């Protein structure tokens, strides 16, 4: 501490002044003789006038300096005592704060951290649920907007004279016959829970009810497969009841449930649906054409009945893609 250094300096000054005082006192007790300073003989010395090295004046100056340094030492000691008292108070405060900090750290580690972790997981689940609800709300909002646009488009043709409603109504008997055809196809594909199939025409969202569940409520995998059944069933229905049809069906990724299921209820991996689907299309429609664009190769057991083309995206191996690659010189 700097105060300790200053105190030592004061003590050194006192020792020096004490040495001067003692040496001056001894010097004053010397007998009259030849002057040790100037070498003057006693009879030549002028005791009436003051010498430049007057001992009495020096001793008085030493005394004054000793008093001054003594006063400074007392003031310094008072300051040191005050600071020591303040230091003791601060050490008590630090000790109390340390105890409080240890208690808080123990509380955080034992109580707050587990609660924070649990609440974090709950918050994450709530955020995911909120995101799902927001997506559903946005979808409903978009559906409402599209319905309003549809109503506006339907009303554009209305002039001064109201036109008759030309809405086409499909006969109930035709819907039942088509539903039976679609049910037969789904059963041949081993589609889950396809005991009953009928068309719901009572709501705005006109769609099929499969196994008592609306088709739109299923995951994207089951929806893709049931839509494929609809397309194939439409071709089969038209031929069976002699309704015009080009005889060509194009299906885009109907087996998405095998590699991108939306959930457990939409996951068909481990079932026979893929094999049954491929076998039915390969054997039941030899006089018609069904084109399937899929990310996975068909089962090898039916390759003899299938014209399977793999797109390699390599100009030197097999077929590059739907279109051949563009030469570099034309780019």
Q: Per-residue pLDDT averaged across 150-158, rounded?
A: 71
Task: For residue 197, give both structure tokens.
Answer: 């199939």
Task: For residue 79, give both structure tokens.
Answer: 């300051």
Q: Label each residue of the chain as H, E or C.
A: CHHHHHHHHHHHHHHHHHHHHHHHHHHHCCCCCCCCCCCCCHHHCCCCCCCCCCHHHHHHHHHHHHHHHHHHHHHHHHHHHHHHHHHHHHHHHHHHHHHHHHHHHHHHHHHHHHHHHHHHHHHHHHHHHHHHHHHHHHHHHHHHHHHHHHHHHHHHCCCCCCCCCCCCCCCHHHHHHHHHHHHHHHHHCCCCCCCCEEEECCCCCCEEEECCEEHHHCCHHHHHHHHHHHHHHHHHHHHHCCCCCCCEEEEECCCHHHCCCCCHHHCCCCCCHHHHHHHHHHHHCCCCEEEEECCCCCCHHHHHHCCCCCECCCCCCCECCCCCCCCHHHC
pLDDT in tens, 296-331: 777 665 556 788 888 888 888 888 888 888 776 555
CB-neighbour burial class of residue 48 (10 A; exposed 0-12, middle 13-18, buried 19+):
exposed
Q: Is the pLDDT of residue 50 over 60?
A: no
> What's the rounded Cα separation, in Å, for the pair 266 and 252?
18
Res 160: pLDDT? 45
Q: How distant, in Å, are the alpha carbons of 220, 229, 253, 277 from that of 263?
A: 10, 21, 18, 21
8 A C-beta contact, residue 219 and residue 262: yes
Q: Which domains does the chain have, with CATH numbers?
A: 1-28+55-146 (no CATH), 172-330 (3.40.50.300)
- Higher model confidence: residue 41 or residue 25? 41
- Higher model confidence: residue 250 or residue 22? 250
Task: For residue 257, give both structure tokens.
Answer: 């449930």
Partners of 252 in the beta sheet? 293
Q: Is the pLDDT of residue 157 over 60?
A: no
Contacts of 35 (CB under 8 A, 6+ apart): 41, 45
- Give the whole-number percent of the chain exceeding pLDDT 70: 82
pLDDT in tens, 275-293: 888 889 888 888 889 998 8
Task: For residue 102, give both structure tokens.
Answer: 């240890």
Q: Per-residue pLDDT averaged across 160-172, rounded?
A: 62
> What's the rounded Cα separation, in Å, for the pair 268 and 285?
24
Contacts of 14 (CB under 8 A, 6+ apart): 66, 69, 70, 73
Highest mean pLDDT: which of 56-65, 144-153, 174-183? 174-183
């Amino acid at each position: 501490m700097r105060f300790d250094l200053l105190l030592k300096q004061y003590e050194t000054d006192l020792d020096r002044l004490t040495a001067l005082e003692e040496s001056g006192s001894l010097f004053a007790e010397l007998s009259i003789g030849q002057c040790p300073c100037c070498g003057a003989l006693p009879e030549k010395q002028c005791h009436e006038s003051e010498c430049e090295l007057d001992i009495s004046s020096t001793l008085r100056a030493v005394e004054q300096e000793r008093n001054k340094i003594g006063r400074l030492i007392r003031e310094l000691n008072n300051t040191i005592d005050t600071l020591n008292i303040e230091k003791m108070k601060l050490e008590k405060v630090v000790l109390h704060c340390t105890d409080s900090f240890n208690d808080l750290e123990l509380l955080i580690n034992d109580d707050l951290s587990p609660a924070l972790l649990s609440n974090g997981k709950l918050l994450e689940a709530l955020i995911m649920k909120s995101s799902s609800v927001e997506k559903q709300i946005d979808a409903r909002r978009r559906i409402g907007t599209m319905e309003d646009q549809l109503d506006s488009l339907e009303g554009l043709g209305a002039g001064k004279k109201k036109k008759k409603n030309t809405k086409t109504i499909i006969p109930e008997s035709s819907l039942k016959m088509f539903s039976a055809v679609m049910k037969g196809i789904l059963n041949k594909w081993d589609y889950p829970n396809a005991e009953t199939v009928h068309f719901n025409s009572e709501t705005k969202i006109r769609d099929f009810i499969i196994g008592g569940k609306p088709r739109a409520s299923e995951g994207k995998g089951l929806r893709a497969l049931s839509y494929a059944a609809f397309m194939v069933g439409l071709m089969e229905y038209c031929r069976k009841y002699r309704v015009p049809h080009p005889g060509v069906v194009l299906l885009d990724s109907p087996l998405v449930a095998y590699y991108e299921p939306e959930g457990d209820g939409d996951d068909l991996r481990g079932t026979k649906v893929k094999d049954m689907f491929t076998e039915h299309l390969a054997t039941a429609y030899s006089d018609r054409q069904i084109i399937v664009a899929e990310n996975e190769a068909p089962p090898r057991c039916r390759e003899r009945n299938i014209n399977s083309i793999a797109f390699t995206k390599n100009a030197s191996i097999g077929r590059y893609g739907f279109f051949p690659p563009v030469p570099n010189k034309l780019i």
